[in-house]
């Protein structure tokens, strides 16, 4: 393999990784800004508000298995209004507050917490 080929190969591999890392950092900032106050920075729902509403632990394998990407997306887009185990759970919809790419990145983020 020539040096030129090796450099081209490294660029082809590293540039997408750098772009994905930046996207991941943006998603992490978005999570912290929009979601972490209730769901926790770690997704465990152990914040004051999360405990008050009985928010699920997104790191729990059983929760992850029981909730598809489509279900997570629906919750983010449409919000949540329900009572579970005697606790009122409410989350505003984000469909008109976030663009589709941001919503998709949050879905991927939630699913990565497993």
| Residue 43: Cβ within 10 Å count | 23
Q: Are 88 and 53 in contact (CB under 8 A)?
A: yes
- Residue closest to 73 by CA, chosen among 108, 46, 45: 108
pLDDT score recorded for residue 5: 67
Question: pLDDT tens, 12-47?
Answer: 554 444 434 445 899 999 999 999 999 999 999 999
CATH no. for 25-112: 1.10.760.10
Residue spans per domain, the chain: 25-112
């Amino acid at each position: 393999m020539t040096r030129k080929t090796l450099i081209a190969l490294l660029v082809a591999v590293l540039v997408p990784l750098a772009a994905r890392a930046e996207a991941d950092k943006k998603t992490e900032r978005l999570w912290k800004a929009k979601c972490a106050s209730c769901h926790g920075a770690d997704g465990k729902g152990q914040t004051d508000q999360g405990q008050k509403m009985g928010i699920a632990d997104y790191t729990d394998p059983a929760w992850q298995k029981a909730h598809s990407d489509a279900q997570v997306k629906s919750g983010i887009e449409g919000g949540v209004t329900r009572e579970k185990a005697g606790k009122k759970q409410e989350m505003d919809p984000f469909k008109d507050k976030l663009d589709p790419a941001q919503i998709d990145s949050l879905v991927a983020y939630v699913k990565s917490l497993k």
